Amino acid sequence: MSTAPVSTPQILDRLKELRADFADGNAQLAELDRRQHDLRDQVLRIEGAIRVLEELLAGAPARGAGPADARDDLDLDLDVGAGPGTA
C-alpha cells in the first residue's frame, strides 16, 4: 500500500485553507471573549441592582410581605467568576 505523492500546488492550496480556518477560528474566539466580557458586565449590573433593591426592602416599613419574605423569593446564584462547566 503506497500513497500517491502530493504535489506542491496541492500542499499550497491546503496550507491556504488551513491558514484561513485558523484566522476564522481566532476571530470567533475574539468574538466569544468580547461577548463573555459584555455578559459578565451585564450580570454585575444586575447583581448591583438586586443589592440596592434588597437594601431598600431591608430599610422599608413592613407592608404586606416583610423584607425577609421578599428576599426569599430571590434565590439567585451569581457566581460571576466561575467559568463554563463549573457548578
pLDDT of 6-62, one tens digit each?
899 999 999 999 999 999 999 999 999 999 999 999 999 999 999 999 999 999 876
Question: In this structure, is residue 23 part of a structural domain?
Answer: yes
Cα–Cα distance for residue pair 51/44, rounded to 1 Å: 11
Question: In this structure, is residue 58 part of a structural domain?
Answer: yes
Segments forming the whole domain that contains residue 65: 8-72
Number of domains in the chain: 1
Question: In this structure, is residue 34 part of a structural domain?
Answer: yes
Question: In this structure, is residue 28 part of a structural domain?
Answer: yes
Chain position carrying cell 457566581 = 79
Question: In this structure, is residue 47 part of a structural domain?
Answer: yes
| Rg from Cα positions in the chain | 27
Say what the pLDDT of residue 29 is. Answer: 98
Cα–Cα distance for residue pair 50/38, rounded to 1 Å: 19
Say what the pLDDT of residue 24 is. Answer: 98
Question: In this structure, is residue 51 part of a structural domain?
Answer: yes
